[in-house]
Amino acid sequence: MKKVTGSESIKWNLDDLYKSTDDPALKEDKLKIVEMAESFSSKYKGEIDLLSPSELKDALAAYEEIYDLMSKIGSYAYLAWSADTENASLGKLMQESNELGAEVNQHLVFFDLEMLAFSDDKAESFSNSKELEGYRHYLKVSRKYKPYMLSEEQEQLLSLKSVTGKNAWVRYFDETLGAARFSLNEETLTEQEVLSKLHESDRALRELAANSLTDGLKKLSRTLTFIFNTLLADKASTDKLRKYPDWLTSRNLSNEIKSETVDSLVSSVTAAYPVVQRYYKLKASLLGLDKLKDFDRYAPVAENETTVTWNKAKEMVLMAYGKFSPEMEEIAAKFFDEQWIDAAIRPGKRGGAYSASTAVSVHPYVFMNYDGKIRDVQTLAHELGHGVHQYLSREQGPLQAGTPLTTAETASVFGEMLVFQDLMARLEKPEEKLALLMGKIDDTIATVFRQVSMNRFENAMHNARRNEGELSAERFNELWMNTQRELYGDSVELTDNYQYWWSYIPHFLHTPGYVYAYAFGELLVLSLYDRYKHEPNGFPDAYIEVLKAGGSASPEELTQKLGVDINNENFWKSGLRFVSLLVDEAEELAAQIKQQA
């Protein structure tokens, strides 16, 4: 029997975007945005080099208006579809939105290209002008893409073909897994439901869930392997056209982070893999096992994990946010009060969780699959952190509200940390503290170490696809297992089942190169939270100001405002030491409990 959490009725209200797929306003906006794009092109194409700074400011404002409206249309289509991927009409709407975006982009491609044609001296003069102060960072970041841009005709063609190429294959992947069903104990479960069983205290149930997931993925193996190969080849050809030196360059440019900084992050984390192996050996002993198997990694150390109702989760998150900043609590409360959250698990809904910034003229929405576990409370805190960040940064306007993925994870992971520390402070019994702490370490390992191990898999599969041609499912399996064995060492037995589990992870396809940003965000937050504990005065206000800044400054500049230097290798080591200290604390609590027994 499925448990009831109260989240079953938590579905978002998208009326602030559009009231329905038949909303006259949606139909009008689809026509309006094409007219706006055509008008913009007619007025400015071939003229950008002749504009003064104040005239370019007017052009940028008009460009932002188009960008914002397209974001509104596209966000509605994606949000509606992701909550019901089996609804053909919603799939049709999303496809129409993608096609509309490509059509609009045909009229706008010239704008960036003509600005990039400025001489370096002129570009510097314009970006430092008083008139363009509100667009300064956007203008400076755009220049970094100059070596990799193509002609206008080529850019138009890439945009147009992405609708029936990359975007179509990503949609097919999502719909394939959204429609997939997994058999477990005479029940038919969605992907999200069967993954949730891996967090149960019943080991036999976890093993059955692992078998069920694997059986389902095996049946889809031919399809998923083909999708992966197609998208890897698509990215390789685009990277070659743009003359990117490697598969990760475009992501690092988007993240506004030096490749050397990413290399330092990855090497620091992989060097600390022994911390993970020490932790899993501790967990095996606490669970009474000689060695963990892959399906044991997220097992709770407490025999019975209490179900956390939706209302209780809401209370826990808002209370933790409020203790840190009343402003954060007030904004987070809007998501509940105004129905900006979709939390119910239901057939056809895609898995995972996200916060969609939508358009700056509207507000963010949070998407998740709430199952009543403590980790779901943490997920809620995580996504609301994103939501608060996105809500606050809207004042920067459409072109500078969004942040690189690296700093985008800061607010989300910090939100998780606030909830965790608040929960720990309430507990008195060592057993309760240990159970919660182990859950936190599980999440931290998943966010830092597992994500970097997945980055290593991404690196391996992109390079293999480029050097070896089309990859078989067995070759993907091999690359996956090699990178995962490096992480777990002899602390976890990776079963044959586990070799297929690369194939359901959407980030590899949705946003290639994304995953290291999770590790970046987690280690950044560990350092920031440590600073907050020791120097609390003024920190919340400074933190809120950084969130409000959105993408108006680089990650390096923003983190410096909070006293952090991301280019210093000791920064990563500081965060990793914090993880090691958490494992130390868990070992000490376990020893204390054993002595009392």
Q: What are 386's two structure tokens? A: 């994103």
Residue 169 in contact with residue 232, Cβ under 8 Å?
Answer: no
CB neighbours (10 Å) of residue 467?
7
Q: Which domains does the chain have, with CATH numbers?
A: 7-164 (1.20.140.70), 185-298+438-510 (1.10.1370.20), 310-432+516-596 (no CATH)
User: Cα–Cα distance between 227 and 231 in angstroms, integer?
Assistant: 6
CB neighbours (10 Å) of residue 560?
14
CB neighbours (10 Å) of residue 484?
21
Backbone angles phi and psi of 187, in degrees to 5: -110, 155
Residue 421 in contact with residue 578, Cβ under 8 Å?
Answer: no
Q: What is the pLDDT of residues 522-573, one digit of tens each?
A: 898 888 888 888 889 999 999 999 999 999 999 889 888 888 888 887 888 8
Long-range contacts of 25-33 (CB under 8 A, 24+ apart): 26/73, 26/76, 29/69, 29/72, 29/73, 30/73, 30/96, 30/100, 32/69, 33/66, 33/69, 33/70, 33/73, 33/100, 33/104
Residue ranges of the alpha helices (H) in 535-568?
A: 539-549, 555-560
CB neighbours (10 Å) of residue 188?
11
Question: How many residues comprise the chain?
Answer: 597
Q: What is the pLDDT of residues 198-229, one digit of tens each?
A: 999 999 999 999 999 999 999 999 999 999 99
Residue 347 in contact with residue 83, Cβ under 8 Å?
Answer: no
Which pLDDT score, from 0 to 100, does residue 77 have?
97
Which pLDDT score, from 0 to 100, does residue 13 have?
98
Which pLDDT score, from 0 to 100, does residue 438 have?
93
Q: How many helices and strands in the chain, by DSSP H and E?
A: 25, 7
Which pLDDT score, from 0 to 100, does residue 384 have?
98
Q: Measuring CA to CA, which residue among 508, 512, 499 is closest to residue 472? A: 499
CB neighbours (10 Å) of residue 38?
14
Backbone angles phi and psi of 401, in degrees to 5: -75, -40
Q: What are 157's two structure tokens? A: 């063609």
Which pLDDT score, from 0 to 100, does residue 527 have?
84
User: Cα–Cα distance between 558 and 564 in angstroms, integer?
Assistant: 9
Q: What are 575's two structure tokens? A: 């965060």
Q: What is the DSSP string of 31-67?
A: HHHHHHHHHHHHHHTTTGGG--HHHHHHHHHHHHHHH
User: Cα–Cα distance between 19 and 208 in angstroms, integer?
Assistant: 42
User: Cα–Cα distance between 150 and 241 in angstroms, integer?
Assistant: 8
Which residues share a beta bridge with 292? 492
Share of the chain above pLDDT 90, in %: 80
Which pLDDT score, from 0 to 100, does residue 2 have?
65
Angle at the Cα of 296 (from 273 to 179), degrees rounded to 5? Answer: 105
Which pLDDT score, from 0 to 100, does residue 597 have?
67
Residues of the chain with pLDDT under 70: 1-2, 303-305, 597
Backbone angles phi and psi of 183, in degrees to 5: -90, 130
Residue 571 in contact with residue 527, Cβ under 8 Å?
Answer: yes
Which pLDDT score, from 0 to 100, does residue 305 have?
62
